[in-house]
Amino acid sequence: MKAVQMLIDGDWRSAESTYYVFNPANIDEVVAEVALGTRRDAQEAIEAAYRAFASWARTSPFERAELLKKAATIVMERIEEIARLLTLENGKPLKDSRKEIGFAARVLQYYAEEATRIFGEWVPTISPSIRSIVIRQPVGVAGLIVPWNFPVDLLAWKLGPALAAGCTVVIKPSSEAPVAATEFARAVNDAGFPPGVINVVPGRASEVGTELVENPKVAKLAFTGETETGKHILEKAARHLKRVSLELGGNAPAIVCDDAPLEVAIPGCVRRAFSHMGQICISINRVYVLEGIADAFIEGVLEATAKIKIGNGLDPETELGPMFREELRQRTKEHIEDALEKGARLLYGGSEPEGEEYKKGFFFTPTVLVDVDHRMRIMREETFGPVMPIMVVRSLEEAVSLANDTRYGLAAYVFTKDLSRAIELTERLEVGGVAVNVNDVTELQAPFGGWKQSGIGRELSRHALDGYLEYKHIRIGLA
Contact between 180 and 85 under an 8 Å Cβ cutoff? The reply is yes
Strand partners, 170: 143, 199
Q: How far apart are CA 151 and CA 235, in angstroms?
A: 24
Point out which residues pair with 471 in neighbouring strands: 136
Catalytic-residue membership of 247: yes
Q: Contact, 29 vs 322, CB < 8 A?
A: no
The residue annotated as part of the active site, out of 211, 269, 281, 352, is 281
8-state DSSP, 9:
T
**DSSP secondary structure string for all residues of 237-287:** HGGGT-EEEEE----EEEEE-TT--HHHHHHHHHHHHHGGGG-STTSEEEE
CB 148 within 8 A of CB 98: no
User: Residue 446 is which amino acid?
Assistant: A
Choosing from 247, 352, 381, 382, the catalytic residue is 247
442 forms beta bridges with none
Q: What angle do CA 240, 154, 51 make, to 5 degrees?
A: 45
Clarify whether 281 is annotated catalytic. Answer: yes
| CB neighbour list of residue 40: distance below 8 Å, 6 or more residues apart | none
Q: Which one, of 441, 379, 376, 367, lies nearest residue 404 by Cα?
A: 379
Which residues, listed in sequence order, are joined to residue 452 by a DSSP beta bridge?
Answer: 408
Q: Which residues are catalytic?
A: 247, 281
